[in-house]
Chains A and B, each alone.
Chain A
């Protein structure tokens, strides 16, 4: 990870180098992103994105300065959260979203739960609703390509070896997306039920997607993610009869891990349950406009 701005050591956005020089945005004496500030960071100088700005790349760099020397040993109280820097970026993203009355969801699941298909169907069903998508994967822009085929704006973040999106990557992607006010922002995290639970991106809610063939005990096996989620979508319910899935057992296990979680049974393929999901999104968006 770049020790100046927090860039991870592998991620890139749509295959392009994220070769930024750092001078401008770290001179504020705080670790916030430049995006939410009104004083003019054009970002043209620090990001060498392509013309369409939809692929970020995180270079590595490990600055370490230490000079051996001797003086009095002393104890310094730090009491600092190890993820403090990520949380600062996330807070900055949250401010940008709040200013736009935009509602952001962080979609988390294992690989293959149907996140991208669900998103494509959701985008089609939402019609003219302003929205944008940030796609996180270790490699390829396949998912962003699928989203763009629906006509929606999408940015692909490739994390390289990284197992999760972080607040800094999402901040840069949001810069490129230039969200319209009252937008929905879908952040499709790297398919991984472990690491993304710990990294706040500034989203309004985490939505965990679980497909019915994954096993009823999955919420028990990966409790952190399902505890962090506000909503769980039990996806591919059309397959339930073919794989002897017990949907009630899924729900019971989700509620055991997280008594507050809302569960929706959906099939992105057949459209079953989609209206409830769309209503949940619309309600979230409306709640942002009221605050």
Chain B
């Protein structure tokens, strides 16, 4: 959706961390992206490539870790893992499920020198 804004957010965090931790270069970056975060990963990769130019993380390897989509089923009361936003509850088949997890967008860690 707004992968360029996200890439800019990532750059801000890197800039702040570079000052806080006194590093000069990021060699690897690991992101955690939830299944329902609405992030198009190829678009984010493209945006990062552009936005990180001139930053400490220019040329850094970027790994994106998928986090599963989780939802609460209103009929059976269980928290279940679903692959698609429109999937029914895998336990009872109900369509009344409310997403509870999977919207994460986080920088997990980074390797710096």
B56 within 8 A of partner (CB): yes
Cα A62 to Cα B107 with chains together (Å):
20
A262 within 8 A of partner (CB): no
B98 close to A80 (CB less than 8 A) = no
A239 within 8 A of partner (CB): no
Interface of B is mostly: mixed
Residues of B within 8 A of A142 (CB): none
Looking at the assembled complex, report how far the CB atom of A269 sits from the nearest CB atom of chain B, in whole angstroms. 31
Residues of A within 8 A of B74 (CB): 259
Q: In the complex, which residues 1-27 of chain B have their Cβ closer than 8 Å to any Cβ of chain A?
A: 1-2, 5-6, 8-13, 15, 17-18, 21, 23-25, 27
* A252 to B, closest residue via Cβ: B95
Looking at the assembled complex, report how far the CB atom of A121 sits from the nearest CB atom of chain B, in whole angstroms. 31
Across the interface, B98 reaches (CB within 8 A) one of A1, A70, A72, A258, namely: A258
Instruction: State which size class the interface on B falls in.
Output: 35 or more
Across the interface, A64 reaches (CB within 8 A) one of B11, B105, B106, B110, namely: B11
1/0 contact string of B88-104 vs chain A (CB within 8 Å): 00000001111100011
A64 close to B15 (CB less than 8 A) = yes
Interface of A is mostly: loop
Please give 10 more A-B residue pairs, beta carbons under 8 A apart, in addition to A64-B54, A64-B55, A223-B86: A1-B8, A1-B12, A6-B12, A81-B106, A83-B6, A83-B9, A163-B1, A198-B1, A223-B85, A258-B98
Interchain Cβ contacts under 8 Å between A and B, 20 examples: A64-B11, A64-B56, A66-B24, A66-B54, A66-B55, A71-B23, A74-B113, A75-B111, A78-B106, A79-B107, A79-B108, A80-B107, A82-B13, A82-B31, A82-B105, A83-B9, A85-B9, A256-B96, A257-B85, A259-B74
Query: What is B's interface to A at a CB cutoff of 8 Å?
Result: 1-2, 5-6, 8-13, 15, 17-18, 21, 23-25, 27, 31, 36-38, 54-56, 58, 74, 85-86, 95-99, 103-113
